[in-house]
Amino acid sequence: MNFCSHCGFAVSLKVPAGEILPRFVCDRCGTIHYQNPKLVVGCVPEHEGRILLCKRAIAPRLGYWTVPAGYMENGETLQQAAARECQEEALASVDIGSLLTVVHVTHAHQVHVFFRATMRTPAYGAGVESLEAILVRPEEIPWPDLAFPSTEFTLRRYLDDQSSGLELHHFVEFDRRLT
């Protein structure tokens, strides 16, 4: 951030009065520009024991596999965001179920939230951000070719809980600054 999005003047990184952390503050109009983590929301879509995966057509991790997920938009709920992303990336209509995982991707300033989901029909396909979509049995999941640690964590917790007959939710932090 170099310029104030309100008035167009230069910003400086400084600690505003009464605050603790440095923020980008406009040198002319004084607007404080807070920067906060973004929500990435997705689901594990299931149909008759199979799971819907997408091969990414965009960076980062182009060509690797994920479950449908993306940035939450203003004006929607987490569940609506998860269903919308599934429609966009995998052309599949789902009913969003229980909360599955919350992944703190601290270095990326992101919180990833995943839900269980059920496909309303067996229809699916590759959306514009996907090269391919596949409906796979658990033993067919391409573990070495998953796109993100949050994808693997989410799929493993999904299968663990399915084995134990539970629908738990799981928190984890992946902080590349620590490794």
Interaction site with a second copy (CB under 8 A): 1-11, 18, 21, 33-39, 71-79, 99, 102, 104, 106-107, 109, 111, 128, 169, 171, 173
Sort 164 into a burial class: Cβ within 10 Å, 0-12 / 13-18 / 19+: exposed
Report the residue number, 27 or 140, with the smaller CB distance to a second copy.
Answer: 27
| Nearer of residues 9 and 143 to a second copy, judged by Cβ | 9
Q: How far is the CB of 48 from a second copy (least distance, A)?
A: 27
Give the span between the Cα atoms of 140 and 136, in whole angstroms.
6
Q: Which is nearer to a second copy, 16 or 122 (CB)?
A: 16
Q: What is the DSSP string of 28-61?
A: TT--EE---PEEEEEEEEEETTEEEEEEE-SSSS
Residue among 33 and 50 whose Cβ is closer to a second copy: 33
CB of 78 to a second copy, least distance (A): 7
Cβ burial 93-106 (10 Å sphere, 16+ → b, else e): ebebbebbbbbbbe
Q: How far is the CB of 152 from a second copy (least distance, A)?
A: 19
Q: Which is nearer to a second copy, 32 or 136 (CB)?
A: 32
Half-sphere exposure of 23 (CA within 13 A, CB side): 18
Neighbour tally for 155: CB within 10 Å: 23
The CA distance from 110 to 103, in Å, is 8
Least spacing, CB of residue 7 vs a second copy, in Å: 7
Which is nearer to a second copy, 113 or 119 (by Cβ)? 113
Rounded Cα distance between 67 and 143, Å, is: 12
CB of 118 to a second copy, least distance (A): 17
Least Å from the CB of residue 126 to a second copy: 14
